């Protein structure tokens, strides 16, 4: 999948999450973001957008619950491993502090490394701060950080890369 097209769709979807209610909780924002992404991302055959998919130590090599994964669900008849068919992993945080963002960047880096996602996406909801400077060295160039906030009643999206 074209990662730049995916990131462009993510930017558009974040801009479309305009109701003030969505900026009150991470879960509320996540639900609307899933709606907006579904209408914008053109996925390869068999790929889906899935929320809060628990990674299990025995199957995945780590126990992280990412907020959103974009992937082809594992099928032993089609995939060589669980790292095959992964497209993007997304972590959301409501008004993330530097410490919270750093922890999410560590989780993203682990999923990029262990499950070979091509890109990790961090979204700081209700803030203008992306905290991109906290992306671990090992994941630089592979994590894109967004901040989305309301300014004069309209979503303002900041995108930064390492």
Burial of 15-31, coded b for 16+ CB within 10 Å and e otherwise, reads ebbeeeebbeebebbbe
pLDDT digits (tens, 9 = 90+) for 81-92: 777 888 999 999
> What does the pLDDT read at residue 58?
53
CA–CA distance from 124 to each of 14, 66, 77, 114, 162 (Å)?
A: 11, 14, 37, 24, 16
* Residues 86, 48: Cα–Cα separation, whole Å: 10
The total domain count for the chain is 1
Q: Give the pLDDT means over successive 10-residue stretches in the chain (162 positions).
A: 94 97 95 94 89 56 79 80 85 98 95 90 98 98 98 96 92
**Which domain does 154 fall in, by range?**
3-161
- The pTM assigned to this predicted structure is 0.91
> What does the pLDDT read at residue 76?
76
> What does the pLDDT read at residue 79?
74
Residue 61: closest CA among 82, 30, 47: 82
> What does the pLDDT read at residue 55?
53
Which ranges in the chain belong to alpha helices (H)? 3-16, 26-38, 57-60, 98-115
> How long is the chain?
162
pLDDT digits (tens, 9 = 90+) for 106-127: 999 998 998 889 999 999 999 9
């Amino acid at each position: 999948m074209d990662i730049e097209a995916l990131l462009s769709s993510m930017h558009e979807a974040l801009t479309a999450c305009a109701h003030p209610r969505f900026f009150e909780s991470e879960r509320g924002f996540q639900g609307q973001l899933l709606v907006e992404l579904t209408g914008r991302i053109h996925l390869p055959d068999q790929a889906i957008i899935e929320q809060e998919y628990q990674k299990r130590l025995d199957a995945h090599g780590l126990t992280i619950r990412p907020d959103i994964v974009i992937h082809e669900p594992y099928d032993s008849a089609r995939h060589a491993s669980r790292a095959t068919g992964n497209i993007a992993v997304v972590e959301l945080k409501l008004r993330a502090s530097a410490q919270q963002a750093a922890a999410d960047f560590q989780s993203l880096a682990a999923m990029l490394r262990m499950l070979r996602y091509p890109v990790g996406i961090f979204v700081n909801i209700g803030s203008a701060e992306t905290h991109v400077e906290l992306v671990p060295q090992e994941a630089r160039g592979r994590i894109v950080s967004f901040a989305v906030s309301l300014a004069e009643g309209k979503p303002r999206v900041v995108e930064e890369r390492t």
